[in-house]
Structure 1
């Protein structure tokens, strides 16, 4: 009787903590879906990524060649960027992206943050895409644009900022 209950406990433990039933079982992988969308009708790419496939592929090339984004053993740069852009373009959750790309939530999150790092370059030795592409016309911020200056919704914040900035420089 005692061995029966201990084997029952062992079986319960095994099924609860060790046995992992596959969840992502769709035959269409994320890479296959990406190839289908990028090589299919041009509207599919616009619907999924809010850009044409040639623009998407150029973005992938830029992030890989100039901003340090690398393919891994199991995921290409194109799929990583696809995960990132799909998430932002459609505003979908990690679970939805996991289902679309047939990857775990952890893998989706890791890929998303790798692309985000390539764009922002907060901790790498690369210049991020954002720093290269988004540059203020006046890097010293000496002039406030007329659109802000003449709008009462924004100007109070810039008055404080300009005072702080002038104080900080002196």
Structure 2
């Protein structure tokens, strides 16, 4: 006996045995079939194991809750019936911490890509507003020596004019079309050269963001100082420590050229052999705070180490936002293992710095800063 669809010759009539796929009606289904998924996910982050929360959004629950409150009260972040402020902030932090796509994050939180994108930009705008408040020196920071400086016999009273360390670092960016040419750096990648100043608490006190990676550190500093960017110019007698990529000039104390500089070049068998080397070693040790600060900042936010998936103007905002988050976490006075750990012995700033041979600067004698440098080096050498 033949099956219903089988002919006498053994052939099968597919046209009769299968429905036409184009004739089927397609039932529209919402992207989010579980409207409470995001709220439950955030609840688990806050009330679950703290390490899980830290690994996903790069901060512990108390800091995260404190951040949500600040963005709501001080920076006008609003919630909706569908998405709470805590959920919006968690969406943003997850994207930056994991460099995840909005589609993937939407699956985690149970929202459409459109909703994820909208909440990402709302939090980004609030954090950019917060960056204006946090990325600047304190009221007396340009005039008063830092307590940590005064308590460290390696540097005090020799570097009594020190008010911060300055350097540039490259952050990978995605740039399309002809505009990508100017963002190509010496390492054959597209990046932005970020100028930053930090204090001894590893807090960013200034950031100049957006200059293409082809620009030299000294060029970026010149643009920052000449433009209307509220550059915190050191008062008389004060200075930032910078590496040999910057010129020795009033307000900027740089090392002696042609001498050993980085601490790795010194050991018990080869200690400093002159006052210049002694100065360079202490200068490098004190200035390394900017390298450690860059290291913590980049290690925390994966979006800074991998090319993000946004337009260049959005990438600028992301850099400012993550710097603001860096300062907020540090100022929260709550535990954070990234700041407490010595495992991030960063060479980022050192790797990003341009070589002396590439430096183009004004060689006009700067007797004032030369005198300060010589005085410090002589005092260090005599007290060794």
TM-score (norm. length: structure 2): 0.33
What corresponds to 2:115 in structure 1? 107
What is the aligned partner in structure 2 of residue 97 from structure 1?
105
2:44 matches 1:36 = yes
How far has the Cα of 1:63 moved from its partner?
0.3
* Match in the other structure for 1:146: 242
131-140 or 78-87, which deviates more: 131-140
* 1:66 paired residue among 74, 86, 95: 74
Query: What is the deviation of 1:103?
Result: 0.2
Paired with 1:111 and 1:34, the residues of 2 have a C-alpha distance of: 15
Point out the structure with max Rg over C-alpha: 2
Tell me: CA distance 1:145–1:33, structure 2 relative to 1, closer, same or farther (3 Å): same
Counterpart CA distance in 2 for 1:40 and 1:156 is 52
Question: 1:124 maps to which residue?
Answer: none
**Which runs of 5 or more residues in structure 1 are unaligned?**
1-7, 121-127, 161-170
Deviations 1:11-31 (A, max 9, x none): 77x63xxx4223434586011
- Structure 2: distance between partners of 1:82 and 1:132: 22
User: How far, CA to CA, are the matches of 2:40 and 2:359 in structure 1?
Assistant: 49
Deviations 1:52-100 (A, max 9, x none): 0000111100000000001112111000000000110111111110110
2:60 to 30, 52, 69: 52
Q: Match for residue 175 of structure 2?
A: none
CA distance in 2, matches of 1:76, 1:40: 19
Structure 1 residues 28 and 71: CA distance shift in structure 2, 3 A: closer
Coordinate RMSD, CA, aligned: 3.2
| Superimposed CA distance per residue, residues 102-137 of structure 1 (whole angstroms, 9 cap, x where no aligned partner) | 0000000000000001111xxxxxxx1111111146
| TM-score (norm: length of structure 1) | 0.69
Q: How far, CA to CA, are the matches of 1:76 and 1:155 in structure 2?
A: 54
